[in-house]
Amino acid sequence: MTATDALGRYRGKRDFSKTAEPKGGRDGRTEQPIFVVQIHDASTLHFDFRLEADGVLKSWAVPKGPSSNPHDKRLAMPTEDHPLEYADFEGVIAEGEYGGGTVIVWDAGTCRNLTRDKRGREIPLAEALDRGHASFWLDGVKLRGGYALTRIRTKKDEGREAWLLVKEADRYASTHGTPAPTRARSALTGRTLKQVAAEAAAKGS
C-alpha cells in the first residue's frame, strides 16, 4: 500500500476547503524517519503522538502526553494515519470540522527504530506495529532516548484498540512527567495554544 492509499481515511474525515490541514501529496519517506507530538485542544485536550512508518505518520491520541519517567504508562489510542506534511501543522481547525480546535507542535525530531527479533535482526517499524510492539529512539527538542509502544487491547476485545507508550530506563529518563498542556509552548514557534488561537481569531476578524 502506498502512502497515498493509506491516507484515505484521513482525507475522508476532512473538507480541505474548510480546514488548513495538509491534504498530503508526498508519497515516500524522509531521509531520516521523523516523529512529532502535537497538543490538540479539541473536544478534549490531548496530545497526538506520531511516528513515521511506510511514508505516513502512524498516530495515537495520548490523553496525558508522553512522559520521560519510565514509571509512567501512558494510554495511547490509535487514530488514522496522517500525511508527513502534518508534522509542521499548527493552527486552528474550524469549529464543526473533524477535530475542530487549536493545534501546536509540542515536540518534533527524528526517530530510529530499535525493534529486533530474537536473532537481533531489525523488524521494520510498520511490521513491528502490526505485531503489537515497537521500540524506538527519539531525538527531539524535548523527548530524547528510548521509548516503546505496546498494544494492550485489540478491536476484538472491547471494540477499540489501545496501546501503552512508555519511556525506557536510559540516560534520558527522569522523574519529570509532562508539562501542563495549556502552558506548554510550541517547539516550532514558541507559542502557546492560547496565543495560536488568539492570532487566528485576529486574522479572521
Q: What percent of the chain has pLDDT over 70?
A: 94
Give me the helices (H) in the chain, please.
Answer: 3-6, 8-12, 125-131, 155-158, 193-204
Q: What is the largest CA-CA distance in the chain?
A: 61
Query: Tell me, what's the pLDDT at 179?
Result: 80
Query: Tell me, what's the pLDDT at 136?
Result: 98
Query: Tell me, what's the pLDDT at 156?
Result: 75
Lowest mean pLDDT among 26-30, 35-39, 77-81, 98-102: 26-30
Mean pLDDT, rounded, of the chain? 92
Question: Does the pLDDT of residue 205 top 70, yes or no?
Answer: no
pLDDT digits (tens, 9 = 90+) for 27-75: 556 679 999 999 999 999 999 999 999 999 999 999 999 999 999 999 9
CA dist., res. 40 & res. 20, Å (int)? 15
CA dist., res. 87 & res. 20, Å (int)? 13
